[in-house]
């Protein structure tokens, strides 16, 4: 017998991978589900699976830098007396004061204003810092109604009725006690230090018929001036968008499952809702079927990272996109300069997502006065403005290459897909073929 039998190398299970094993151990020792911030982390069909064709014999490109390529967008042209006009088709998504520090909220307002776009409040009401620094501010109307009042409603430039979020369609919010500082508690009319659960359903309307009446009330209170958005998570985009239009929305926001959240159960983030890419075509189809495409504007969010993502979302029919996570990263979230501190928290730069614990070394997802002081709102705002500018230039570069004088002229015919899945979801041909799955 040969005693020298070669051993196989140790092999880890693809099913029971390291992360899965660690989660089983964590669950076994704590008895409670994992809560974290951010969006879906698993690999999903996404904008990276699409490519632009660019111009060629049959298409005429535009000269980079010289020939104009418009990026402006007007939101709220359907009913509002005062639609909002943005210079770029990239808005800042709603992120609550409470989940974010006052400095971070201010920085978002500053960055958005420099870039000529809007920012959005969040679950927790409007802060004066944010209103003061935001040229165009969208005020969220959420199930919790924390801080909701008619004065802020009238101070807003638009109102966003939040029905759901991509990270957790069907779920409410949570802000754990650690982050309920005096100021946050006061704005939410709750005792300090308690876990605060935001309701998952609105308290005074249930279906789309009631929502229509609710929107009528909001318009009455604000003299029919403000555009009213409805934000839905990527659950049933075709029907959700059609019903939003029926309920009287000026703008519909569709947030896919990669969309970030301040804090939710991991199981919710990773297993409920559809990828952003899968939501856009059904949403656009609903608008087209109702004759409302471009009349009711569509904003898409969830995992938008660069100008290519922006251009692809617009080509598929969106009027604008919205960013959350990327904006926080631009401010300084998960920056390697805080690596030593991330390690102390059992994480690493780029992976830190225990935002609910309120100990963010970057001073963004925290209410700790010492930590939040680390973020200079002026400097961080500048960084966000730079980033927004780069994204816009990138989207224009692509649009020009496709021969478009406005980013809104991009169309599905400019795209092909790298995978069968992406081709089916985006309803564009698989690269090298003329095959659109299902067509």
Partner 1 sequence: MIELDLKSEGVRGVNSRLHSLPKNTNQRHWLLKNPQGQHAIACGLDGPFTVEIAGHVGFYCGGMNKEAEIIIHGHAGVGVAENMMSGLVRVTGNASESAGATGNGGLLVIEGDASSRCGISMKGIDIVVGGSVGHMSAFMAQRGNLVVCGDAGEALGDSIYEARLYVKGRAENLGADCIEKEMRAEHREELEKLLERAKIKAKVKDFRRYGSARQLYNFNIDHADAY
Ligand X SMILES: Cc1cc2nc3c(=O)[nH]c(=O)nc-3n(C[C@H](O)[C@H](O)[C@H](O)COP(=O)(O)O)c2cc1C
Q: Binding residues for partner 1, per CB under 8 A?
A: 30-32, 144-145, 148-150, 153, 176-177, 188-191, 193-195, 197, 199, 203-205, 210, 213-214, 216-217, 220-224
Identify what 131 binds: partner 1, ligand X, none; CB under 5 to 8 Å per kind: none
Shortest reach from residue 191's CB to partner 1, in Å: 6
Shortest reach from residue 186's CB to partner 1, in Å: 11
Identify what 76 binds: ligand X, partner 1, none; CB under 5 to 8 Å per kind: none
Identify what 30 binds: partner 1, ligand X, none; CB under 5 to 8 Å per kind: partner 1
Residue 91's DSSP bridge partners are 322
Q: Which is nearer to partner 1, 70 or 193 (CB)?
A: 193
Asked whether 373 and 106 are in contact (CB, 8 A), the reply is no
Q: Which is nearer to ligand X, 99 or 196 (CB)?
A: 99
Residues 6+ apart with CB under 8 A from 111: 92, 119, 327, 330, 331, 380, 381, 382, 383, 384, 385, 387, 388
Identify what 9 binds: partner 1, ligand X, none; CB under 5 to 8 Å per kind: none
Q: Which is nearer to ligand X, 96 or 113 (CB)?
A: 96
**What six digits make up the tokens of 382?**
């500048």
Residues of this chain that interact with ligand X (CB under 6 A) are 37, 39, 93-96, 99-100, 122-123, 140, 162, 165-166, 231, 255, 258-262, 301-304, 323-326, 365
Shortest reach from residue 30's CB to partner 1, in Å: 8
Using alpha carbons, select from 258, 380, 255, 323 the residue that is nearest to residue 95: 323
Q: Which is nearer to partner 1, 49 or 160 (CB)?
A: 160
Q: Which is nearer to ligand X, 208 or 302 (CB)?
A: 302
Asked whether 285 and 240 are in contact (CB, 8 A), the reply is no
Using alpha carbons, select from 103, 109, 180, 175 the residue that is nearest to residue 142: 175
- Helix 208-221 × helix 237-246 angle, to 10°: 50
Exposure class string for 49-72: b at 16+ Cβ within 10 A, else e:
bbbbeebeeeeeebeeeeeebebe
Identify what 361 binds: partner 1, ligand X, none; CB under 5 to 8 Å per kind: none
- Residue facing ligand X at closest CB distance: 324
Shortest reach from residue 218's CB to partner 1, in Å: 9
Identify what 326 binds: partner 1, ligand X, none; CB under 5 to 8 Å per kind: ligand X
9 by Cβ neighbours in 10 Å (0-12 / 13-18 / 19+) ranks as: exposed
Using alpha carbons, select from 299, 295, 232 the residue that is nearest to residue 76: 295
Q: Which is nearer to ligand X, 62 or 365 (CB)?
A: 365
Q: Which is nearer to partner 1, 18 or 151 (CB)?
A: 151
The CA distance from 439 to 295, in Å, is 27
Shortest reach from residue 57's CB to partner 1, in Å: 56
DSSP string, 195-234: -EE--SS-SS--SHHHHHHHHHHHHHHTTT-S-EEEEEES
- Terminal Cα-to-Cα distance of the chain (whole angstroms): 62
Identify what 204 binds: ligand X, partner 1, none; CB under 5 to 8 Å per kind: partner 1
Q: Which is nearer to ligand X, 135 or 305 (CB)?
A: 305
- Helix 377-401 × helix 307-315 angle, to 10°: 50
Shortest reach from residue 150's CB to partner 1, in Å: 4
Residues composing the chain: 439
Name the helix (H) or strand (E) containing 102. Answer: helix 102-115
Identify what 79 binds: ligand X, partner 1, none; CB under 5 to 8 Å per kind: none
The CA distance from 131 to 135, in Å, is 8
Residue 229's DSSP bridge partners are 160, 251
Shortest reach from residue 330's CB to ligand X, in Å: 11
Q: Which is nearer to partner 1, 20 or 223 (CB)?
A: 223
Identify what 62 binds: ligand X, partner 1, none; CB under 5 to 8 Å per kind: none
Identify what 132 binds: ligand X, partner 1, none; CB under 5 to 8 Å per kind: none
The CA distance from 299 to 160, in Å, is 12
Identify what 32 binds: partner 1, ligand X, none; CB under 5 to 8 Å per kind: partner 1
Q: Which is nearer to partner 1, 87 or 145 (CB)?
A: 145
Q: Which is nearer to ligand X, 323 or 415 (CB)?
A: 323
Shortest reach from residue 213's CB to partner 1, in Å: 5
């Amino acid at each position: 017998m040969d005693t020298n039998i070669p051993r196989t190398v140790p092999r880890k299970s693809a099913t029971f991978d390291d992360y899965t094993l660690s989660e089983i151990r964590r669950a076994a020792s704590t008895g409670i589900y994992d809560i974290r911030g951010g969006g879906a982390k698993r690999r999903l069909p996404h904008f990276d699976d699409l490519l632009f064709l660019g111009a060629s014999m049959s298409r005429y490109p535009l000269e980079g830098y010289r020939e104009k390529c418009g990026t402006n967008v007007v939101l709220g042209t359907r009913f509002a007396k005062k639609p909002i006009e943005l210079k770029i088709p990239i808005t800042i998504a709603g992120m609550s004061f409470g989940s974010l520090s006052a400095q971070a909220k201010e920085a978002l307002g500053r960055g958005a204003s420099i870039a000529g776009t809007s920012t959005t409040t969040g679950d927790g009401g409007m802060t004066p810092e944010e209103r003061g620094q935001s040229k165009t501010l969208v005020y969220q109307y959420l199930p919790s109604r924390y801080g909701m009042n008619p004065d802020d409603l009238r101070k807003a430039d638009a109102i966003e009725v939040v029905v759901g979020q991509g990270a957790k369609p069907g779920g409410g919010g949570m802000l754990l006690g650690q982050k309920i500082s005096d100021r946050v508690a006061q704005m939410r009319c709750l005792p300090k230090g308690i876990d605060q659960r935001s309701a998952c359903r609105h308290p005074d309307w249930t279906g789309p018929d009631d929502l229509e009446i609710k929107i009528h009330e909001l318009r009455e209170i604000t003299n029919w001036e403000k555009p009213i958005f409805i934000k839905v998570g990527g659950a049933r985009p075709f029907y959700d968008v059609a019903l939003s239009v029926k309920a009287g929305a000026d703008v519909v926001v569709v947030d896919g499952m990669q969309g970030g959240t301040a804090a939710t159960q991991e199981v919710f983030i990773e297993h409920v809702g559809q990828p952003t890419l899968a939501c856009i075509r059904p949403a656009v189809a609903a608008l087209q079927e109702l004759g409302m495409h471009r009349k009711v504007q569509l904003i898409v969010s969830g995992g938008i990272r660069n100008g290519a993502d922006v251009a692809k979302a617009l080509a598929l029919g969106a009027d604008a996109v919205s960013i959350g996570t990327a904006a926080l990263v631009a401010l300084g979230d998960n920056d390697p300069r805080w690596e030593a501190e991330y390690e102390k928290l059992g994480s690493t730069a780029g992976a830190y997502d225990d935002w609910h614990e309120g100990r963010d070394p970057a001073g963004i997802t925290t209410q700790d006065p010492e930590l939040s002081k680390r973020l200079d709102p002026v400097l961080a705002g500048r960084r966000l403005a730079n980033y927004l500018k780069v994204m816009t230039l990138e989207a224009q570069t692509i649009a020009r290459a496709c021969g478009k004088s406005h980013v809104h002229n991009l169309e599905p015919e400019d795209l092909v897909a790298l995978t069968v899945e992406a081709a089916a979801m985006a309803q564009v041909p698989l690269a090298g073929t003329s095959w659109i799955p299902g067509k």
